[in-house]
Structure formats: C-alpha cells, structure tokens
Amino acid sequence: MQARSTVRRFTSVLLLLATLGWAHPLAAQEPEEPEPSAPWRTSYFPYLSGMANDGPVISARIRYWQPAPYEARTTYNGALDGAAGISFRGTRYAAVRFRAPGLVQDWRLDASLVAERLVRFGYFGLGNDTEYARDQVSDDTPFIFRVRRIRYQGRVELTRRVRGPFQVALRADVGRVRFTSLPGPSLFDADFGERLEEDDVSARLALVYDTRDNEFNTLRGFYAEAGTQVGSGGDGYTRLYGVLRGYVPLREGTVVAARIVGSGMGGTPSLYARFDLPTWNEQVPMLGGEYSHRSFDTGRFAGRGAFFGNLEVRHDLLPFGDLGAITLLAFVDAGRVFEEESFRLTTDDLHVGGGGGVALRILRSTIFTFNFAGGPDGFNFSVGNGWMF
C-alpha cells in the first residue's frame, strides 16, 4: 500500500513537471503586449524672445503633441506647433511646424511653413573685411547697417536611420525673400538699391552620425554631419558643408561643448543663401548672432563660404531635476567668411570674441539663453531659443 502511494505521488510530480515544461515554451511564444502610447496633448503658453537684432519679441505657441518615453532621445514622438510673435519695432512672424521623430521606427519627418518680417536684419557688405564704425550710426543715419528682410519659406525633411548612429536626410526648400532698405542711407541701398527679391528652390542631402545621449539637453556624445545642396537662387549654386559637435561632462551639472562648421558654395548664390546654412533639423544663420557668433549682430558677415567654431562651458548653478535649471555659460566664438576667395581651413583673419551668459531651462526641453559678449565690434547682447548647438 505504501509503495502504491509513493508511485502515485511520484507520478503526480512527473505530470506537474511535464505540464510546467510544456507551459513555459508556449508562454514564451506568446507575443508581448506593446506598451500603450501616451495620449496626444495640447499645450499653449506665451513667452518673450529675441529675433535678428530686435527684441523683445512677444510670442505665443500652441502645441499638439504626443510625449515620448522618458528614456527617448527626444521629448515627443510627434508634435504640431503653431507660433506667432511681434516686437515693438515691427518684427513679426508666424510659423507652423510638424516634427515626427518617433512615430515610425527608423524614420523621422520635419516639415514647416514660415512667414517672417525682420526689420533690423544686419547688412555690413560682403566679405570678411567689412567694417563696423559706430560713429557712422547717428540720428540722421540710424539704419546704415540695417535692412528689412521678409521671408516666406516651406521645407520638408525626411530622415532614415541606416544603421546604428548613421542616418541619411533629404531636404527640399521653396522660398521667396525680399530685402528692402530702411529710411535714410544704408550700405544695402548702395550695393543693391532699395529692393532685392529672390526666389529659391533647393534640395539638400546629408549624412549624419549621431551618438548624443539626447537631442534636447545633450550631456555627452559626438555629432558629425556632411551635406551637399543644390539651389536655384541667384543664377544657381551648389554647396558643400560639414559640421562637427562634441559634448563632454566634466562633473555632474557641468558640460563642455564644442562645434566646428565649414561651408563653401559654387556658382552664383543668392544673398539669402549666403546668410543661412540648412543643416539637419536646423537653419543656422551665418555669420553673427546667437546661433553662430554671439559677439556680432545677426548678418554681420556674409560670403560664399564660412568657417567658424564655438566652445562653451555650461554649469547648472541651480538644478531642479526635470523641473528645469538655471545654468551659467562661458563661451568663445571665432569665425570668418570667404567671398572673393575659395573656402579653406585656416586660422587666418578669424574674428574672435567671447563672453558669458545665463540659460533658463523650463521642464526638460524649453531653454532660453541670454548672452553677453564682447569682440571687435564691442559689446553685444542676444537672446536665444534653445542651446546654440
């Protein structure tokens, strides 16, 4: 009787183990439920900023967006933004932009429509040797180094991740730009007359290598971009350019960031093409201003080629975690343009300046920078929306 009981117990154990043995692989074959996507949200807020030697600009933005997972490289999977703003001097803009870095795996889309009127855009002539004489600016000649620029532009950029950190991006732009002189004598009026209208249709292909830890508040990583552009502006032009960026954390809350940019054009480029570089996900104004050289006004130097670098230290003075931070900046900017000569890598005739500033980060991605710089033209103050790079 005891033997039979032992056999029954042993048989029961075998059946249980067999059941578990079969259940485990079957359970492993069942597909995991995908994590539910966050719901789309709507947010809106007013803010103050600066634009092209003018400010403050009173702006408002509305955003319809889907938050990305916390560990993602961007704070959103997709976002549709509408923004508009105006300054007391008459600068104004309206823009619509749709970005989708995380809606489709390995693909991202960036499309925008912009209409803007900049009433204090800089024009100091073409070339690297243009001079800024402050004593020429008086009550009778307040706009001698200024021009009004009106721009209507649409662009679409499609990016495909090829492998690991390598990505390929194709961008198309259609734009119309009108430069008009302001009251009184000006260098622009002397070079182009009272009015200059330019139409431009362009395409740009870029190869991107990106190992940054994230795209909104980078703490470490390396970024490299090489691209070529073909445009119809002027009598037609081509462009080759490259961008290198690096980020190294010195300690918690302190980051050293550096960037080098080179761009050279062939053909007969338009005036507008000389002032703007269409990099991946960004439009970099050259040369001068809060996004290329903080020691100079926006539009200070213009040429068929440009070469510049930026080095800055960012230190979180008052960190508040995901709520934001107050950050101190120290920076050095250097650069030059090429008009009558071909682009080359050189340290000759670089315009060097530097300074410091304060950055205000709200939550994880909204960043405003206030820059106080000095250089060959004297003191310059600028306000940026986001990190310089």
pLDDT in tens, 75-102: 999 999 999 999 999 999 999 999 999 9
pLDDT of residue 35: 56
Query: For the whole model, what pTM was predicted?
Result: 0.87
Contacts of 285 by beta carbon, 8 Å cutoff, 6+ apart: 52, 275, 276, 277, 291, 292, 298, 299
- Does residue 12 register a pLDDT over 50? no
Mean pLDDT of 320-346: 96
Question: Are 314 and 389 spatial neighbours (Cβ–Cβ below 8 Å)?
Answer: no
Domain 31-385 adopts which CATH fold? Porin (2.40.160)
Task: Tell me which residue of 247, 287, 241 sits closest to 261, measured CA to CA.
Answer: 241
The band of 367, judged by pLDDT with boundaries at 50, 70 and 90, is very high
- Tokens 């431009």 belong to 200
Range from 46-50, 236-240, 321-325, 337-341 carrying the lowest mean pLDDT:
46-50
pLDDT digits (tens, 9 = 90+) for 299-326: 999 999 999 999 999 999 999 999 999 9
Name the helix (H) or strand (E) containing 293: none
Name the helix (H) or strand (E) containing 229: strand 221-231
Residue boundaries of the structural domains of the chain? 1-30, 31-385
pLDDT of residue 1: 43
Mean pLDDT of 170-199: 97
- Tokens 């940019």 belong to 261
Mean pLDDT for the chain?
Answer: 91
What secondary structure letter does DSSP report for 34? P
The band of 36, judged by pLDDT with boundaries at 50, 70 and 90, is low
